């Protein structure tokens, strides 16, 4: 009988150890998942802050382009200011490329993920619309500039002048980044 009692106690003790090990393993895993989730939420917030800073820089440069460059370009000075305008447009496109890099990082952090913090979820939802607007504003601005270049070249040809300006070339096109069947920021 003593051997039976000892075996019963040993089996009960083993069962308790197995259960407690499983529970502690589950709790440790849950704690690690929570830490990783909060780190990802911090990464989203930090990436969105960099993204927002670059969006602000984009908006400021766009405003500057309109107030100091496009508003001061006339047919009689367009040829002389062409290099400066193209340089400004190149800087403008560089900011768009920076935003694309930010967006790639946010895509990795936000796609198919729901966070326990509503402000982080809001950032994940908003960056796509903002990026779509930025790209579409940029493409609209370039198309508008290129339309003016075409008009300038036609005017010069009608005057018998050999002066021509090249269009600003970019590979960027209008996008529907958030897949809502609308092109936010498209101004055409």
* CA end-to-end span of the chain: 92
Lowest-pLDDT range of 77-81, 114-118, 132-136, 181-185: 181-185
Q: What is the pLDDT of residue 167?
A: 92
Question: Hey, which CATH number is domain 38-158, 3.30.70, 1.10.132, 1.10.760, 2.60.120?
Answer: 1.10.132
Concatenated DSSP letters of 73-126: --TTTTTTTHHHHHHHHHHHHHHHHHHHHHHHHHHHHHTT---S-HHHHHHHHH
Q: What is the pLDDT of residue 168?
A: 92
How many angstroms separate the CA atoms of 87 and 64, rounded? 13
Of 150, 124, 136, 152, the C-alpha closest to 184 is 136
- pLDDT tops 80 at residue 65: yes
Q: Where are the domains of the chain?
A: 38-158
- pLDDT tops 90 at residue 71: no
Q: Is the pTM of this model over 0.75?
A: yes
How many angstroms separate the CA atoms of 13 and 9, rounded? 6
- pLDDT tops 90 at residue 162: no
Q: What integer best gives the mean pLDDT of the chain?
A: 84
Which band of pLDDT confidence, cut at 50, 70 and 90, is reported for residue 188? low
Specify the 3-state DSSP secondary structure of 182.
coil
Which band of pLDDT confidence, cut at 50, 70 and 90, is reported for residue 183? low
């Amino acid at each position: 009988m003593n051997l039976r009692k000892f075996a019963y106690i040993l089996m009960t003790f083993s069962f308790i150890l197995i259960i407690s090990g499983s529970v502690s393993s589950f709790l440790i895993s849950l704690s690690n998942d929570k830490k990783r989730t909060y780190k990802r939420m911090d990464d989203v917030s930090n990436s969105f802050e960099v993204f927002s800073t670059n969006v602000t820089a984009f908006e400021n440069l766009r405003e500057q382009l309109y107030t100091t460059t496009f508003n001061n370009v006339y047919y009689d000075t367009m040829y002389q200011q062409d290099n400066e305008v193209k340089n400004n447009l190149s800087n403008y496109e560089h900011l768009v490329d920076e935003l694309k890099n930010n967006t790639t990082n946010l895509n990795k952090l936000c796609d198919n993920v729901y966070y326990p913090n509503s402000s982080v979820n809001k950032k994940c939802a908003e960056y796509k619309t903002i990026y779509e607007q930025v790209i579409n504003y940029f493409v609209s601005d370039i198309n508008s500039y290129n339309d003016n270049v075409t008009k300038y070249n036609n005017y010069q040809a009608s005057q018998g002048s050999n002066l021509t300006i090249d269009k600003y070339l970019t590979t960027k096109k209008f996008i529907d980044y958030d897949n809502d069947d609308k092109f936010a920021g498209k101004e055409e």
